[in-house]
């Protein structure tokens, strides 16, 4: 794979940290973005000398704009921007508050929207680039009642990704907008969820963050636009929608 400059948001842990390490091992330069400098530097140390740390809260548009400028200034270009920041919630839909919805949208949707919009002028000027948005199987099959607001936010992200891709297709064919949908991943997602929650590792049939990172690396290589991280996920989604179509 040709060397790329890869920006990973939410790179201080979980999928983001695993992706940064895997990308660096594959010969790419990586920019690690998150709010916690100490944890970012720990990941960067594992990535090697081509890792660049930038502390930012990507739910703030001005901070995302500064992150884009910092990446371009440091490396001279950005090739791939990975919107990986996300957070879950543990609350049934009948009990959701305005604050719950605002948080889910800010973290899971606005962070990605800012990333797409702020890196776009750079990609347009270069005539190419790739955005990869990390979504969730819950955006296809909302089977976890207590994650309702998270599922809704990720549904929004999926639609936004598809429409952003369609908008750019005619005038900017060199810019790829990809979506990656993991299922259960063994990270701190469960315990870090808004209102708490059980550890993700307490559930069976999950994936390690490194497995998801490997899928994202393949998406960088193939420029595929819509990818699940498990082979059985597609059939599960089809079965879900076929069931809805049958009615009561």
Give the model confidence (pLDDT) of 21-65 as tens digits.
999 999 999 999 999 999 999 999 999 999 999 999 999 999 999
Q: Determine the average pLDDT of the residues in 71-97.
A: 97
Active-site hit among 150, 186, 228, 240: 150
Place of tokens 């599922």: 151
Domains belonging to the chain, first-starting first, are 5-246 (3.40.50.720)
Cα 218 from chain centre: 15
- The HSE-up count of residue 229 (CA atoms within 13 Å, CB side) is 27
150 catalytic residue (yes or no) = yes
* pLDDT digits 0-9 by tens, 188-206: 888 989 999 887 887 878 8
So what's the pLDDT on residue 247? 58
Q: Determine the average pLDDT of the residues in 222-242.
A: 91
SS3 content of the chain, % helix, strand, coil (to 5): 50, 15, 30
Query: Which CA distances in Å does 51 have to 24, 158, 197, 202, 233?
Result: 8, 29, 33, 33, 33
- How far apart are the C-alpha atoms of 189 and 212, rounded to whole Å? 14
- How far apart are the C-alpha atoms of 122 and 138, rounded to whole Å? 32
Task: Please state the pTM of the whole predicted model.
Answer: 0.94
- How far apart are the C-alpha atoms of 189 and 84, rounded to whole Å? 12
């Amino acid at each position: 794979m040709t060397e790329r400059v890869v920006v990973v948001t939410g790179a201080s842990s979980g999928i983001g940290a695993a992706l940064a390490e895997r990308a660096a091992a594959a010969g790419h330069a990586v920019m690690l973005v998150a709010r916690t400098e100490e944890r970012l530097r720990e990941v960067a140390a594992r990535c090697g000398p081509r890792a660049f740390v930038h502390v930012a809260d990507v739910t703030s548009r001005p901070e995302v704009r500064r992150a884009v400028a910092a990446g371009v200034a440091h490396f001279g270009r950005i090739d791939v921007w990975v919107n990986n920041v996300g957070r879950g919630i543990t609350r049934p839909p009948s009990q959701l508050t305005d604050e719950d919805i605002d948080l889910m949208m800010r973290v899971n949707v606005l962070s990605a929207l800012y990333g797409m919009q702020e890196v776009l002028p750079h990609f347009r000027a270069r005539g190419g680039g790739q955005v990869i948005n990390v979504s969730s199987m819950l955006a296809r099959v909302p089977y976890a009642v207590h994650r309702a607001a998270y599922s809704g936010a990720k549904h929004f992200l999926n639609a936004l990704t598809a429409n952003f891709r369609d908008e750019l297709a005619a005038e900017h064919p060199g810019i790829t907008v990809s979506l990656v949908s993991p299922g259960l991943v063994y990270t701190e997602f469960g315990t870090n969820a808004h209102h708490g929650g059980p550890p993700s590792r307490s559930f069976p049939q999950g994936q390690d963050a490194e497995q998801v990172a490997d899928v994202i690396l393949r998406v960088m290589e193939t420029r595929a636009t819509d990818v699940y991280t498990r082979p059985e996920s597609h059939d599960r989604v089809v079965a879900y929608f076929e069931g809805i179509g049958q009615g009561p």
